[in-house]
Structure 1
Amino acid sequence: MDSDPIHLTRCDPAQNLARFYRLELAGDLFGGVQLLRQWGRLGSAGRIGRTWFASAEAAQASRDDWLRRKRARGYREGQKI
């Protein structure tokens, strides 16, 4: 189960703010699904977090929750990193 990554950015030059957030679902070798999250300053490699789920539905629900939270903080779909 692979999905297209979701790329979010949040930029505000007045606050010297240039950040990205990336969400992606990927299958693992054991039949589960992992949610990959990558975040950091634009231009950097950033940090990576992985969470494993037993079902695709649970992973998608978690991804949607992260997406909702990031949009509430001002992130918008933007350029790929």
Structure 2
Amino acid sequence: MNGADLPLPVELVALDPARNIRRRYAIVASVDLFGMIVVETRWGRIGAAGQVQRHAFADQAAAERHIAATLRRRGTAETRIGVAYL
């Protein structure tokens, strides 16, 4: 697998200055030295260190399912935190 086959990086931002909400969510997929697809998710307040989570997948379909599930959850942000990710 090469880098051309990987899903594109995703960057989401939720801003509401009136409520002091400044959140960032990023998803990046890459291939490690063993040929596994590593999906790295970073989230947190803009300007802060935030948190990171990495998941390794043996095939691209599993990695894409994980990314799709994560994006579905981010899609509900407006009902959960009152601000949609853009």
Q: Percent of aligned pairs with the same residue?
A: 34
Contact 2:77–2:85 (Cα < 8 Å) also in 1: no
Contact 2:36–2:56 (Cα < 8 Å) also in 1: yes
* Ranges in structure 2 where 5+ consecutive residues have no aligned partner: 79-83
| Rounded Cα–Cα distance in structure 1 between residues aligned with 2:24 and 2:15 | 9
2:28 alignment partner in structure 1: 24
Are residue 11 (structure 1) and residue 15 (structure 2) matched? yes
* Ranges in structure 1 where 5+ consecutive residues have no aligned partner: none
TM-score, length basis structure 2: 0.79
Structure 2 matches for 1:28-47, cutoff 5 A?
Answer: 28-47=32-51
TM-score, length basis structure 1: 0.83
Q: Which has the higher contact order (CA 8 A, sep 6+)?
A: 1
**Of Structure 1 and Structure 2, which has the larger fraction of its residues in strand?**
1
CA RMSD of aligned residues (A): 1.5
Larger radius of gyration: 2
Are residue 65 (structure 1) and residue 74 (structure 2) matched? no
Moved over 2 A (4+): 1-4, 74-77
